[in-house]
């Protein structure tokens, strides 16, 4: 079950989405962009490209992937939620 999502620029600025009311949108988006950036930097050290960042807890997962536009799609939910939203945004 998806709790929310956001399209985020790589600088951490919020573009659009629906996040739960209890989340500090600015801080959440900045930290997701920083997490993706850190993963990309680490992955380059082993000569690869980061495709996704996955943060798992007992209650939910946060999945971060780059869109064709270069923005990031952040989903608080599961893989199916990510695939549905990514298809929508990559087709725009």
Please write the tens of the pLDDT for every residue from 8-59: 999 999 999 999 999 999 999 999 999 999 999 999 888 877 789 999 998 8
Q: Is residue 86 one of the residues assigned to a domain?
A: no
pLDDT at 92 over 70: no
Domain span holding position 23: 11-70
Which of the pair, 92 or 38, is modelled with greater confidence? Answer: 38
Confidence of residue 67 (pLDDT cuts 50, 70, 90): very high
Give domain status of residue 4, yes or no: no
The reply to whether 77 falls in a domain is no
- Flag whether 50 is in a domain: yes
Q: Is residue 91 assigned to a domain?
A: no
- Domain for residue 61, yes or no? yes
What is residue 25's predicted lDDT score, i.e. its pLDDT? 98
- Dump strand ranges (E) for the chain: 4-8, 14-18, 53-56, 61-66, 72-77
- How many structural domains is the chain composed of? 1
Q: What is the pLDDT of residue 49?
A: 75
Q: What is the pTM of this model?
A: 0.91
Is residue 82 situated within a structural domain?
Answer: no
Q: Is residue 48 part of a domain?
A: yes
- Give the pLDDT of residue 64: 97
């Amino acid at each position: 079950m998806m709790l929310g999502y956001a399209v985020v620029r790589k600088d951490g600025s919020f573009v659009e989405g629906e996040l739960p009311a209890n989340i500090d949108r600015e801080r959440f988006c900045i930290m997701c962009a920083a997490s993706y950036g850190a993963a990309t930097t680490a992955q380059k050290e082993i000569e690869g490209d980061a495709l996704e960042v996955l943060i798992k807890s007992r209650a939910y997962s946060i999945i971060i992937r780059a869109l064709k536009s270069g923005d990031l799609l952040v989903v608080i939910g599961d893989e199916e939620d990510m695939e549905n939203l990514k298809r929508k945004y990559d087709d725009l």
